[in-house]
Structure 1
Amino acid sequence: MYRDALKNSEKILSVAPMMDWTDRHCRFLHRQLSQHALLYTEMVVADAVLHGDRERLLGYDQTERPVALQLGGSEPCKLAEAVRIASDFGYDEINLNVGCPSDRVQSGTFGACLMREPDLVARCVAAMKAVSDVPVTVKCRIGVDDQDPTIALPALTEAVIDAGVDALWVHARKAWLQGLSPKQNRDVPPLDYDRVYRLKQQYPHVFIGINGGIANLNQAAEHLEYVDGVMLGRAAYHNAQLLGEVDQRIYGVPAVAVDWDAVCSAMMRHAEIHLQSGGRLGQITRHMVGLFLGVRGARRFRQILSTDAVRDGAGPEVIAAAFAEIDFTDLATAA
């Protein structure tokens, strides 16, 4: 994937791994809107893969592909075993989290904490590469706490490149593990896009992707003048409608308007299968409320999904009722 992208001067747009958000239902929705965007799982801790319910943790619908699994951990042997287990599920990429600043991650001495230990990250990557048939990548920050990014980011980059990493995705801001909450870490530390651009200039033959504060596809296109990939996070989640333009604007596919009737039908079928397996409708519809921002009927759409979908016995017909409130002529005019 990444070597072909570099060889052919192609760009990649992905939806960032986001805890509590990018589960299988979110990814299924996003895939209805873009056939080419690279999707990521939430971070799954290696220990959970080794000892937990693997189908629940790793299972997904094949229509979600291309999809990458993000792992959390800091023990090379456990990460390697998690990769072996995940290989049976057919992921298109395995990503190592070196950027999450949550308390849970800090207590496990992985995530953003690993910015301080580039040699350990390199050993983790090498162990994962040794057992993986698909690309192994890293997602990191430019540094943590009082680290100097001019030292921390190059040190990590050089270490993982030497270990054979296939791509490096960089969230272009520090993580402050002391003094800021995980939510604040997404906004408060200043962005430094130029530092990631310079990293790409330094390593022209390595796939470098950028993440952090990218609000729309216009900004994504601007970043792609300097780096190989763009990762959208909250923008893609809270305004998923923008993914409908990704295939044409980023991947050069001839423009085709999203078939919203087909999206509605696909989500209803997905909901029916999920309900038959004992799930709840709200587990799916919570990811859909970000559709149709600024479109007539969107407020009622959100109300239905936020109230009716969480009631006992709620079924796929709730999704149909919500879609029925949207004035799709607004979308046609915008297109």
Structure 2
Amino acid sequence: MQKEKPSNYNAFRLSVAPMMDWTDRNCRFFHRQMTRRAMLYTEMVTAPAVIHGPKPRLLDYSGAEHPIALQLGGSDPTELAQATRIARDWRYDEVNLNVGCPSDRVQSGCFGAVLMLRPDLVADCLRAMQDQADVPVTVKCRIGVDDQVPEDVLPAFLETMARAGVRHVIVHARKAWLQGLSPKENREIPPLDYPLVVRMKQQFPELILCINGGITSLSQAQGLLDQGLDGVMLGRAAYHDPASVLIGADALWGDSFAPDPVQVVQAMRPYITAHLAAGGRLHAITRHMLGLFHGRPGARMWRRVLSEGAGRAGAGLDLIDAALGAVEGAQIGA
């Protein structure tokens, strides 16, 4: 049975999507400097990797990242249960099952969006995960795949999830085409259907239903919440233009926390110092920070200084200072 929701569980009101090669622990720590409230998701980790791989490297994170959710990939209930049990020691706030990724690599492993074709298997996986979890187990899905009719498939899928004991579903409001479109095209070409997801909330009022896909501003997120949805999940906008969608986002909870981008940079300094002292490279962190000043004076110089210098041996806080100085100089001249 699914356990009681933790006190911070209304973090679902706004969340940052799991994105492969993007939302690693450095990215999440950076995002946390802009929002105290939003749920942050790990990159997808496959259940076999958790079971057989280097667990600290795959599962470790900073305590400052809470609330944080672990996203697992897989289609074997036994493996997913074992991975969920292992992850308990890391004290995530939520464990999520990926039923939305359309990549070829995921399809070949029979997980991700292809599982929309096998809802009963998804239900078996989620029951097995819930048996081993001490936090909520959730699922992220699409509205359908290939020639499925979303108006028929999505309500049936949600009904199956509800019968399995799931109380929280994140819906990417696009179909996934398993053949003929790349993962990037699957994030852009299939049309969005927000009204369908809103209708699903009306049909399944007992579910925590969150929406993902194409959301690029806080005003757009608020508009979707105003239509009755429980939460909004941001993806690429939170990565490429984080300040516009994360700074001030805590107002959705009535929280006034809203640092400016310069304060965010300063807040990152101790983390960067510790990372460098442990032998890390500056680029591993700053690659996530390139969009911080997007649309503001000095944004181009900020990106240029960091892009050109952060990968060099010995690059450190002096490069951050140089990039920030370029921004401040541009703002004075604006």
- Following superposition, the deviation at residue 261 of structure 1 comes to 4.9
**Gaps in structure 2 of 5+ consecutive residues:** none
Query: Which position in structure 1 is the counterpart of 2:64?
Result: 63
Distance 2:323 2:172 in 1: 35
Query: Which position in structure 2 is the counterpart of 1:200?
Result: 201
Distance 1:330 1:219 in 2: 28
- Following superposition, the deviation at residue 3 of structure 1 comes to 8.7
Report the secondary structure of 2:296's partner residue.
coil
Letter in 2 for 1:107: S
Q: Deviations over 1:120-169 (max 9, x none)?
A: 00001100111111010000000011111122212211111111113000
**Gaps in structure 1 of 5+ consecutive residues:** none
Letter in 2 for 1:43: M
Q: Does 1:80 align with 2:74?
A: no
Query: Which position in structure 1 is the counterpart of 2:159?
Result: 158
Letter in 2 for 1:42: E
Query: Which position in structure 2 is the counterpart of 1:180?
Result: 181
Correspondence for 2:240 among 223, 238, 241: 238
Report the secondary structure of 1:325's partner residue.
helix
Q: How does 1:209-220 map to 2 (within 5 A)?
A: 209-220=210-221
- Following superposition, the deviation at residue 245 of structure 1 comes to 1.0
Letter in 1 for 2:16: V
Distance 2:12 2:19 in 1: 22
Query: Which position in structure 1 is the counterpart of 2:25?
Result: 24
Q: Deviations over 1:202-231 (max 9, x none)?
A: 011110000000111111001001210000
Partners of 2:70 and 2:92 within 8 A in 1: yes
Distance 1:220 1:163 in 2: 29
Q: 1:106 to 1:199 in 2, by over 3 A?
A: same
Letter in 2 for 1:252: G
Distance 2:65 2:51 in 1: 23
Report the secondary structure of 2:209's partner residue.
strand
Query: Which position in structure 2 is the counterpart of 1:305?
Result: 306
State the identity %. Answer: 58
Letter in 2 for 1:36: R
Distance 2:329 2:243 in 1: 12
Letter in 1 for 2:301: R
Report the secondary structure of 2:43's partner residue.
strand
Partners of 1:3 and 1:166 within 8 A in 2: no
Q: 1:192 to 1:210 in 2, by over 3 A?
A: same
**Number of paired residues?**
328
Distance 2:161 2:66 in 1: 26
Distance 1:54 1:158 in 2: 34
Q: 1:40 to 1:257 in 2, by over 3 A?
A: closer
Q: Deviations over 1:219-270 (max 9, x none)?
A: 100100121000000111110102111012x11113x441545422332221
Correspondence for 2:250 among 247, 250, 255: 247
Partners of 2:250 and 2:258 within 8 A in 1: no
Partners of 1:95 and 1:137 within 8 A in 2: yes
- Following superposition, the deviation at residue 324 of structure 1 comes to 2.2
Partners of 1:268 and 1:317 within 8 A in 2: no
Letter in 1 for 2:88: S
Q: 1:31 to 1:234 in 2, by over 3 A?
A: same
Q: Deviations over 1:144-201 (max 9, x none)?
A: 1111112221221111111111300000010001000000000000011111011000
Q: Does 1:171 align with 2:172?
A: yes
Q: Does 1:106 align with 2:107?
A: yes
- Following superposition, the deviation at residue 316 of structure 1 comes to 2.5
Q: Does 1:135 align with 2:144?
A: no
- Following superposition, the deviation at residue 5 of structure 1 comes to 8.7
Distance 2:136 2:329 in 1: 40
Q: How does 1:20-59 map to 2 (within 5 A)?
A: 20-59=21-60
Report the secondary structure of 1:198's partner residue.
helix
Query: Which position in structure 2 is the counterpart of 1:320?
Result: 321
Q: TM-score normalised to the size of structure 2? A: 0.93
Report the secondary structure of 2:253's partner residue.
coil
Distance 1:3 1:202 in 2: 26
Letter in 1 for 2:104: D
Q: 1:238 to 1:260 in 2, by over 3 A?
A: closer
